[in-house]
């Protein structure tokens, strides 16, 4: 690769990136670097550590390339660390050569005290790898894994473990399970060179740029191979906490619709705005007109707000759609369907938390064993730069967070209570409907009986009344002058009977409505 000759320096602390590495034609234009107070961009004094690939030959140009996110960090005993996080399109040979490259050195021969080379890629489907077979085998060979894939293909259940090569260097394996709450990390640690190399596969929920920035910022403080899985599990835990919060929020809405739940406990996260309005004092009355000093409105104090919790409350389009469906529920069977979906979602998130917890337990176990891979003469130096004790405390706090997430909001028991309540309400509704149908059938039967009785009575009365002259010689003379008595009796009598039946029906309907309302109110509904 073409680059200008580096300047002579006396110590790594005064490294100046005067000679920049020229990227090849296969560098992705969207590559970015986020420097910090302890992070440099590209160091001209580390030619072997450059992330840009070497110029390709005609044979290499025909090979298939893979777009990856590559992270490289080097820490010196004195001076500032050198790190870089960028996107590249590499061939399998370039990735393998970069992972196997020796530790770089400055122009005056000062080697880094510790280093990291990491290949990151997004894995959208846990059932398929983002690399082709040849590239994946080349990466496996570079990180010292044996020629087998069993640890990645056993029913996709996930696993945590390690391999030891002939030299005693461990390769740590964190394999994701078949859900969106876990990750895959394969890391080889060389205790003699204090260099960690490997690859990481993450789901679409963890941005590769954010992952690279966090690792580059934290590696100078924790030059430990197990820092990478710790950062990955922390990012996964934050995403799982966001999911659990929204499940808890929608479960609270369901409890409100069924009028169940513990109303004495308020969700401070969900009611942060109300609490904010309640705790902020009212503005002072304006000063008198004679006062010359201008009055300034009091500033709202936000020092109490938990900003990470406020970030969790941000509702994505996915959860906003679910909230709309929950708000539009008018019947219990609709609410039961959404609650069943929430229960399945919670089961997946709970399994992801338990999987992350098993990864944390494996990390704590290996933290106690990392020193044993190094020579006794080297352990004192590593103790000063790896900060194993600080990383252990950090992982223990992460373990505590995950264990508290398992019981967050008592979602599991509350979900079962809601399902039982909805099941009972639906059964009561069906029983009430069956009772109403039976009463309606009984009323129809009574009406038919009344019609039959009235018809029979009027039919007999029609022939019993002396309004017909049966001795008439012709049909035209059958009706006598007293036929008007038929209308005088039949019409008023019919009206009276129908009126009495109508009043009786209204009284019965009112009593049925009152009984139904009382029944619905007894099960927690406002109206029938």
Q: What is the 3-state secondary structure (H, E, C) of 64-126?
A: CEEEEEEEEEEECCCCCCEEEEEEEEEEHHHHHHHHHCCCCCCCCCCCCCEEEEEEEEECCCC
Write out the E strands in 361-454: none
What is the structure's pLDDT at 151? 55
Rounded CA gap, 223 and 368, in Å?
A: 15
Question: What per-residue string of b and e applies to 421-447 under the rule 16 or more CB within 10 Å gives b?
Answer: bbeebeebbeebeeeeeeeeeeeeeee
Say if residues 115 and 74 touch (Cβ distance below 8 Å): yes
Rounded CA gap, 159 and 185, in Å?
A: 11
Say if residues 46 and 74 touch (Cβ distance below 8 Å): yes
Rounded CA gap, 199 and 197, in Å?
A: 7
Rounded CA gap, 502 and 496, in Å?
A: 10
**What's the token pair of residue 75?**
């820490």
**What's the token pair of residue 510?**
């009112």
Rounded CA gap, 111 and 376, in Å?
A: 20
* Adjacency order of strands within the sheet including 82-91: 82-91, 65-75, 114-122, 195-202, 184-190, 170-175, 159-164
Bridge partner residues of 87 (DSSP): 69
Rounded CA gap, 458 and 139, in Å?
A: 101
Rounded CA gap, 369 and 385, in Å?
A: 17
What is the structure's pLDDT at 505? 83
Say if residues 44 and 19 touch (Cβ distance below 8 Å): yes
Rounded CA gap, 355 and 448, in Å?
A: 68
What is the structure's pLDDT at 462? 59
End-to-end CA distance of the chain: 80
Query: Angle at the Cα of 415 (from 413 to 420), degrees rounded to 5?
Result: 95
Rounded CA gap, 210 and 236, in Å?
A: 13
Contacts of 395 (CB under 8 A, 6+ apart): 226, 230, 360, 363, 364, 367
Digit-by-digit pLDDT tens for the chain (528 residues) are 444 444 443 343 333 333 333 333 333 333 333 333 333 333 334 444 444 444 344 444 456 677 788 898 988 877 677 777 777 777 777 888 888 887 776 656 777 888 899 988 888 776 677 777 778 778 888 887 776 555 555 546 778 888 888 788 888 988 876 665 567 888 989 888 888 998 888 887 888 888 888 999 998 888 889 999 999 999 989 888 988 999 998 888 888 888 777 655 555 444 444 444 444 454 454 444 444 444 555 555 555 555 556 666 677 777 888 888 888 887 887 888 888 888 888 988 888 899 889 999 999 999 888 877 776 666 666 776 778 889 999 999 999 999 999 999 888 888 888 888 888 888 877 787 777 777 777 777 777 777 777 666 665 565 556 666 667 777 666 776 767 777 777 778 778 878 887 898 888 888 878 877 776 666 555 554
Bridge partner residues of 202 (DSSP): 122
The helix (run of H) or strand (run of E) holding residue 174 is strand 170-175
Residue (of 112, 19, 95, 107) closest to 53 by Cα position: 95
Contacts of 310 (CB under 8 A, 6+ apart): 272
SS3 call for 145: coil
What sign for the dihedral angle of Cα 229, 235, 238, 244? negative
Say if residues 183 and 236 touch (Cβ distance below 8 Å): yes
Q: What is the 3-state secondary structure (H, E, C) of 454-515?
A: HHHHHHHHHHHCCCECCCCCCHHHCECCCCHHHHHHHHHHHHHHHHHHHHHHHHHHHHHHHH
What is the structure's pLDDT at 227? 92
**What letter would DSSP give residue 189?**
E
Residue (of 304, 161, 321, 310) closest to 250 by Cα position: 321
Say if residues 216 and 83 touch (Cβ distance below 8 Å): yes
What is the structure's pLDDT at 362? 93
């Amino acid at each position: 690769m073409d680059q200008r000759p580096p300047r002579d320096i006396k110590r790594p602390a005064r490294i100046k990136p005067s000679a920049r590495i020229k990227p090849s034609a296969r560098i992705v234009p969207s590559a970015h670097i986020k420097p910090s107070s302890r992070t440099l961009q590209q160091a001209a004094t580390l030619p072997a550590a450059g992330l840009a690939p070497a110029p390709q030959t005609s044979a290499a140009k025909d090979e298939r390339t893979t777009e990856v996110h590559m992270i490289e960090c080097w820490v010196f005993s004195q001076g500032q660390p050198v790190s870089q996080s960028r996107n590249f399109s590499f061939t399998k040979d370039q990735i393998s050569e970069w992972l196997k490259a020796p530790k770089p050195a400055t122009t005056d021969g000062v080697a880094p005290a510790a280093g990291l080379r990491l290949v990151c890629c997004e894995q959208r489907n846990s059932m398929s790898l983002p690399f082709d077979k040849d590239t994946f085998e080349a990466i496996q060979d570079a990180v010292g894994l044996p020629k087998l894939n069993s640890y990645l293909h056993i029913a996709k259940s996930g696993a945590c473990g390690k391999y030891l090569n002939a030299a005693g260097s461990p390769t740590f394996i964190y394999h994701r399970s078949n859900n969106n709450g876990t990750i895959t990390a394969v890391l080889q640690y060389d205790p003699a060179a204090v260099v960690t190399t490997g690859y990481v596969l993450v789901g679409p929920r963890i941005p590769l740029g954010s992952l690279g920035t966090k690792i580059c910022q934290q590696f100078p403080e924790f030059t430990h191979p197990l820092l990478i899985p710790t950062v990955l599990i922390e990012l996964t835990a934050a995403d799982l906490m966001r999911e659990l919060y929204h499940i808890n929020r929608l479960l609270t809405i369901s409890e409100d619709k069924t009028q169940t739940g513990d109303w004495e406990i308020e969700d401070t996260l969900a009611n942060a705005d109300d609490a904010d309005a309640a705790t902020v004092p009212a503005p002072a009355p304006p000063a008198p007109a004679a006062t010359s000093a201008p009055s300034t409105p009091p500033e709202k104090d936000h020092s109490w707000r938990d900003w990470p919790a406020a970030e969790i409350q941000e509702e994505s389009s996915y959860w906003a759609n679910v909230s709309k469906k929950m708000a539009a529920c008018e019947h219990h069977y609709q609410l039961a369907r959404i609650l069943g979906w929430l229960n399945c979602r919670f089961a997946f998130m709970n399994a992801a938390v338990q999987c992350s917890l098993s990864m944390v337990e494996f990390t704590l176990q290996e933290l106690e064993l990392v020193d044993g891979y190094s020579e006794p003469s080297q352990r004192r130096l590593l103790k000063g730069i790896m900060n194993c004790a600080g990383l252990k405390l950090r992982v223990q706090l992460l373990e505590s967070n995950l264990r508290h997430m398992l019981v967050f909001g008592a979602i599991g028991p509350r979900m079962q209570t809601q399902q039982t309540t909805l099941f009972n309400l639906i059964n009561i509704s069906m029983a009430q409907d069956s009772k109403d149908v039976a009463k309606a059938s009984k009323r129809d039967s009574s009406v038919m009986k009344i019609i039959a009785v009235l018809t029979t009575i009027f039919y007999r009365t029609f022939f019993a009344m002396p309004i017909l002259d049966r001795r008439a010689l012709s049909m035209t003379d059958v009706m006598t002058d007293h036929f008007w008595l038929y209308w005088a009796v039949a019409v008023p009598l019919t009206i009276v009977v129908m009126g009495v039946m109508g009043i009786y029906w209204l009284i019965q309907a009112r009593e049925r409505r009152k009984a139904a309302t009382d029944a619905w109110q007894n099960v927690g509904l406002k109206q029938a």
